[in-house]
A and B are shown apart, each in its own frame.
Chain A
Amino acid sequence: MSLGDILDGSDAREVKRRERSAGPRRERRLLRRLLRPEPVFWGLFSAGGFVAALLLPIHVAILGIAFAAGWLPSRVLSYERVQHLVHLPLVKLYLWGLVALPLYHWAHRFRFAIYHQFGIVRWKRLVAVGCYGTAIAGTAVSAWVLLGI
C-alpha cells in the first residue's frame, strides 16, 4: 500500500463534524451537554461502592454464614424482634440505602463492562438505560416494600 492509499483509508474512516449553526439553538445544545445525567450516576456508583465495601461484608457474614452455622443467639432474627427493628424509621432508611446503593454500583460497572470488555458498541444507549433503569426500579421496589412493613 502506498502512503496515498493509507491516507485515503484514514480519510474514509474519519468522522467529520457536522456543521452546526450558531444562534439560539446553540445555547440549548451547550446546556444539554452540561446537564447530562452521567455525573449523578457516577456519584451513586461511588456511594454504592463504599456501602458495598464497608457495610456489605459484615451483613453477608451475619445473614448468610453466621445464621446458618448457628453462631447467633436464637432471638436475633426472631420475627418480633426484626419487625420491631424494621419499624424504626432510621433502620428503614439504612436498609433502603443498603439495598439500593449497591445496585447503582453494579449498574455503572456492568454498563461499562459491556461496553469495554465485551465490545458491544451498537446499543450503547439501550444498555445504559437498561442498567440504570434496573437500579432505579430496584430503588423504587425496595422503598415500596420498606414502607409497607
Chain B
Amino acid sequence: MSTGGRPRYPVYVPEYPRSWWLETGPYRRFAAREITSMFAAAFSGLLLLFLFALSRGREAYEGFLRWLKLPGVVALFAVILVAVLYHMATWFRLTAHIQRVRVGRTVLPEGAVVAGLVAAWIMASGIVLYFYIWF
C-alpha cells in the first residue's frame, strides 16, 4: 500500500473464459480465419514431401503420385482448398481495410482494392497454370 499523496484508482482486469472465441458468430469466423493458416502450412508440408520424393528417384516419385490419387488424400486436399480460399477472401478484405489507396485527392473504395487483388489472383493463377501445363 503506497503512502503519500498519489491518487489511487481501481484497476480493471477483465476476466473472460478461454472459449471466448466460440461465443458469437464474428468471433467464430475470426477463429476460423486464424485456423486456415494451419491448412496453408499443411500444404507447404505436402509440397515438401513432393520435393522429397522427387529427390529420391523415379520409384519414390511415382509412389508419391499414386499416393496423391487416394480418395482420402484428395479429401484432405479439398479441405485445404476450402480453407485456403477462405483465407484468401478474408485476407483480401483485410488488406482493403488496412491499406488506403489514394488516387490524387480521393481514396479508392474498399471494393475497388478487393477487385484489384482478385484480378491479381486471377493473373497469378493463369501464369502458374501455364507453367504447370504448357511450359
Interface residues of A (CB under 8 A from B): 6-11, 13-14, 48-50, 52-65, 67-69, 72-73, 76-77, 79, 82-83, 85-86, 95, 98-100, 102-103, 105-106, 109-110, 112-113, 117-119, 138, 141-142, 145-146, 148-149
Say yes or no: A63 contacts B77, CB within 8 Å: yes
Q: Can you show 5 pairs from A to B with CB atoms below 8 A apart?
A: A59-B47, A62-B132, A102-B41, A102-B43, A117-B18
Pick the 7 closest A-B CB pairs, nearest first.
A64-B77, A106-B41, A58-B125, A109-B37, A53-B88, A52-B40, A10-B11
Instruction: How many A-B residue pairs have C-beta atoms within 8 angstroms? Tell me.
Output: 160
**Chain B binding site: helix, strand, loop or mixed by DSSP?**
helix
Q: B11 contacts which chain A residues (CB < 8 A)?
A: 10, 13-14
Which bucket holds chain B's interface residue count?
Answer: 35 or more
Cβ of B124 to closest chain A Cβ, rounded Å: 5
Cβ of B72 to closest chain A Cβ, rounded Å: 11
Say yes or no: B52 contacts A58, CB within 8 Å: no
Say yes or no: A11 contacts B65, CB within 8 Å: no
Q: A138 contacts which chain B residues (CB < 8 A)?
A: 44-45, 48
| Bound CA span A99–B132, Å | 17
Say yes or no: A117 contacts B124, CB within 8 Å: no
Cβ of B36 to closest chain A Cβ, rounded Å: 8
